[in-house]
Amino acid sequence: QASKLYGLASPTLLARAADASLPPLAMENHRSGVSPDTFAKVPGLRENFTLLTTSLDRVGKRYVSSVEHKSMPITATQWHPEKAAFEWTTEQHIPHSAEAVALTQAIANYLVAQARLSSHRPKDIKAERALIMANYEPTFTAVYEEKRLEVARQTARKLGRPGALVAAGEPGENDENLFDQIYFFPS
C-alpha cells in the first residue's frame, strides 16, 4: 500500500530521504520517541495506523517518525516537515538542501489537498474575511522555541475514540506518546 503522506514526493526524492548514508532531510532532534517495538505492542497504534518511517534520535535510538491512519484521514509526524523551508537558524542543524525543501513542499502539497476535501466552509463572507491571515500580526520566531501541544488526546476525543490514537499523558509526563504534528481532516 502506497503512503498518502509521501505520495506526492518523487521516487527519486523518497529514495534520497531513505538513504541513511547521506545527511537526513529532516531535523532529527528528538529524545524519546515511540520505538518501533512499542508501536508494535500497543494495539491502538498497530491496529489503526500504518508505520511509514523510522528515524534515529539525537543519541542514535530508532523511533517512529511518521504514521498514517489505515482508514481515516489522519497522519502524524515526529519531525517538523516545515523546518527545512521556514526555520532559519544555524544552531539547530536543520537541513536546508534542495531535497529537504522539496520534501517539505511535497508534504505541504498533500496537506493542502486534504484540507481542500473538507466540506467545512465559513458561513458567510464576513466569517471568511475574519480568517484571512493578513488579519493577524506576524510574530518573529526565527529562533527555535519549543511549544508542545498535546493534540493526540483532543483529536481522539473528537473522533469519539479516546484510545484510538495514543495513550497520551500530560506534555512532559510521557513524551513517548506525543507526536509533533497530527494532521486530521474532517470531511
Exposed e or buried b for every residue in 146-155, given b needs 16+ CB within 10 A?
A: eeeebbbbeb
Per-residue pLDDT, 100:
95
Dihedral sign, CA of 166, 171, 174, 180?
Answer: positive
How far apart are alpha carbons 23 and 72 in whole angstroms?
33
pLDDT at 51 over 60: yes
pLDDT given at position 86: 84
In the CATH scheme, what is the code of domain 11-184? 3.40.50.880
Distance (Å, rounded) from C-alpha 126 to C-alpha 153?
A: 32
Confidence of residue 50 (pLDDT cuts 50, 70, 90): very high
Phi, psi for residue 33 in degrees, rounded to 5: -85, 175
Contact 109, 6 (CB under 8 A): no
Please give the pLDDT value at position 177.
43
Percentage of residues in the chain with pLDDT exceeding 70?
Answer: 73
The DSSP result for 107-149, as a single string, is HHHHHHHHHHT-----SSHHHHHHT-GGGS------S------
Band of residue 158 on the pLDDT scale cut at 50, 70, 90: low
Give the pLDDT of residue 187: 45
Q: Which of 30, 69, 80, 93 is catalytic?
A: 80
Instruction: Tell me if residue 96 is catalytic.
Output: no
Which residue has better confidence, 40 or 135? 40
Q: Tell whether the model's pLDDT for residue 142 goes beyond 60.
A: no
Q: What mean pLDDT is reported for the chain?
A: 78
How confident is the model over 145-169, as a mean pLDDT?
47
